[in-house]
Chain A
Amino acid sequence: MERIPILRIGDLLLVTIQVDMHDRLAMSLQDDLTERIVRDEAKGVLIDISALDLVDSFIGRMISNTASMARVLDAQTVLVGMQPAVAITLVELGLTLPGVKTALNVERGMALLGKQYLAGPARRDPQAR
Chain B
Amino acid sequence: MSDMSPAAGVRFSSQLLTPRAGARRVLVLPLTGDEHVVALRRLVRERAIDIKLSLVDQTKLVTAASELARNTLKYGGGGEAHVIELDDGVRLGVQLIFADDGPGIADTALALTDGYTTGGGLGLGLSGARRLVDEFDIDTRVGEGTVVAVVKWKR
Contacts and interface: CB of A to CB of B under 8 A. Distances in A.
Interface in B11-60: 34-35, 37-38, 41-42, 45, 55-56, 58-60
B132 A56 contact: no
B82 interface: no
Contacts of A61: 121-122
A41 interface: no
B108 to A, nearest CB: 18
A23 interface: yes
Contacts of B124: 57, 93-95
B70 A53 contact: no
Contacts of B131: 92-94
A89 interface: yes
A69 interface: no
A6 to B, nearest CB: 21
Contacts, number: 72
Contacts of A95: 122, 124, 128
Contacts of A93: 63, 67, 124, 128-129, 131-132
Given A93-B131, A94-B131, A95-B128, A56 B34 contact: no
B114 A53 contact: no
A56 B42 contact: no
Contacts of A24: 34
Question: Chain A: interface residue count, which band?
Answer: 20 to 34
Question: Chain B: interface residue count, which band?
Answer: 20 to 34
A58 interface: yes
A54 B128 contact: no
A17 interface: no
B121 A89 contact: no
B38 A58 contact: no
Contacts of B63: 54-56, 89, 93
Listed residue (B60, B63, B125) with the most chain A CB atoms within 10 angstroms of its CB: B63
A88 B56 contact: yes
A129 interface: no
A95 B127 CA distance: 12
A57 B59 contact: no
A88 B121 contact: no
B121 A23 contact: no
17 contacts: A20-B41, A23-B34, A23-B37, A24-B34, A57-B124, A58-B70, A58-B121, A60-B122, A83-B59, A86-B59, A88-B56, A88-B59, A92-B60, A93-B63, A93-B131, A94-B122, A95-B122
Interface of B: 34-35, 37-38, 41-42, 45, 55-56, 58-60, 62-63, 66-67, 70, 114, 121-122, 124-125, 127-129, 131-132
